[in-house]
Amino acid sequence: MSLDIRRLDASQPDFVTQLDALLAWESVSDAQVQATVTGILAEVKHRGDAAVVEYSNRFDHVHAISMAELELGQERLQQALQGLPEEQRQALTTAADRVRRYHEQQKQESWDYREADGTLLGQKVTPMDRVGIYVPGGKAAYPSSVLMNAIPAHVAGVQEIIMVVPTPGGELNELVLAAAAVAGVSRVFTIGGAQAVAALAYGTETVPPVDKIVGPGNIYVATAKRQVFGTVGIDMIAGPSEILVVCDGDTDPDWIAMDLFSQAEHDEDAQAILISPDADFLDRVHSSIERLLPDMQRHEIIRTSLLERAALIHVSDLDEACRVTNRIAPEHLELSVADPQALLPHIRHAGAIFMGRHTSEALGDYCAGPNHVLPTSGTARFSSPLGVYDFQKRSSLIMCSPEGASELGKTASILARGEQLEAHARSAEYRILGDD
């Protein structure tokens, strides 16, 4: 079979324009979706459980009479875990242990220091009290996503982790429930959509209100999260998944083809890009793609993704590959080269960096340890992987000695009066010590 994958050459004068066009992605903000979500949020805010039950019955085709029927107990989660085939249970536990160990390195501690006059300055770090994890139902129900969202919260010290997962047609995903057991989830409600986001943000008679909501969801969930932002914290709204592979030309082209497929199979909008200074290698990977694709279970999704959004980019050398990488700021970056550590100082923007020919991106999705919730669509320029720090917050600490307050008061007074804020100035001046 022949597959017409886009080829770009960084030496062409219009390369940057072509690259920007390739990367362009705008999520559609639909007025109808906005209005529907606004209505659902208002109903749940005012009518609580009753509204959540009604929407769940309507959208998920379940037949609940009360919220009590839409909660799963810890014993149900344990039952799911124990019911897994040994191999799956072991893999889930191994993955959770590795993710936990990595994230423990991210935990931030309080600090303070004292100045010569006894004044103490510092920062107190505390976990959030309670957070909500949204887990999609149906086909996109990924147990790995439960681990990646819940474990950082657990490591941060969050006392209550509330998970919501819709059960379209009443269907439960045992792997997802098992992952919740392994990840330390406190309570699980089988609700989804904007109504679940509303329940978590505002609280109902049964669902306690949380401080932050994380996790992926469809356009209704994403829109609801945006609307409740401010009442609660939210994580980034993710775009389609992307991979950028930089290869020197010496990795098995089948490996690279499969790495590109592993992004493309997520959905038709996913983006897979390969950059190499070796034009022949681009051809060889192209051949591997054409040969391997027909046998893939998700070959239709992969084909559409590759045709619509993929590119094979030729560059003059690996330095240029790094410059193009920084412009793309990819979610996933594979440095499939002989000496990845030599390139690392030149990489400024990437969600996660997979170094060396053996480090396939798929390892990071499940069990290497780092989080698989990563900034998409170039947002790695200014944002970070989901982490423990997303479930901790900081309070500044200031404790002035009388002498310290007196000295600082003089400076504050001058600046406050420069801003015409007299009460600020006088409040500081009260603490200036007399000469007596």
| Binding residue ranges for NAD(+) | 134, 195, 218
Which of 189, 255 has the CB closer to a second copy? 255
- In the annotated binding site for substrate, the residues are 241, 263, 266, 332, 365, 419, 424
State how far Cα 197 lies from the chain centre.
17
We find the least distance from the C-beta atom of residue 89 to a second copy, in angstroms, to be: 10
We find the least distance from the C-beta atom of residue 60 to a second copy, in angstroms, to be: 21
Q: Where are the alpha helices (DSSP H) in 157-278?
A: 174-183, 193-202, 219-228, 253-264
φ, ψ at 105 (rounded to 5°): -70, -20
Q: Look up residue 363 and give its two tokens.
A: 């390892």
We find the least distance from the C-beta atom of residue 300 to a second copy, in angstroms, to be: 13
DSSP 424: H
Q: Look up residue 115 and give its two tokens.
A: 């100045």
- In the annotated binding site, the residues are 134, 195, 218, 241, 263, 266, 332, 365, 419, 424
We find the least distance from the C-beta atom of residue 333 to a second copy, in angstroms, to be: 8
Which of 56, 371 has the CB closer to a second copy? 371
Q: Is 332 a catalytic residue?
A: yes
Which of 36, 93 has the CB closer to a second copy? 93
Q: Is 46 a catalytic residue?
A: no
Q: Are 266 and 240 in contact (CB under 8 A)?
A: yes
We find the least distance from the C-beta atom of residue 64 to a second copy, in angstroms, to be: 27
We find the least distance from the C-beta atom of residue 427 to a second copy, in angstroms, to be: 4
- In the annotated binding site for Zn(2+), the residues are 263, 266, 365, 424
Q: Are 158 and 130 in contact (CB under 8 A)?
A: yes
Which of 76, 424 has the CB closer to a second copy? 424
CA distance 256 to 365: 16
| CA dihedral sign of residues 88, 91, 93, 95 | negative
Q: Where are the beta strands (DSSP E) in 228-361?
A: 233-234, 242-247, 271-276, 311-314, 332-336, 352-355
Residue of 242, 331, 334, 361 marked active site = 331
Which of 264, 315 has the CB closer to a second copy? 264
Q: Which of 32, 390, 63, 37 has the alpha carbon at shortest distance from 196?
A: 37
Which of 32, 420 has the CB closer to a second copy? 420
φ, ψ at 123 (rounded to 5°): -145, 125
We find the least distance from the C-beta atom of residue 283 to a second copy, in angstroms, to be: 20
| CA dihedral sign of residues 147, 153, 156, 157 | negative
Supply the residues annotated as catalytic: 331-332
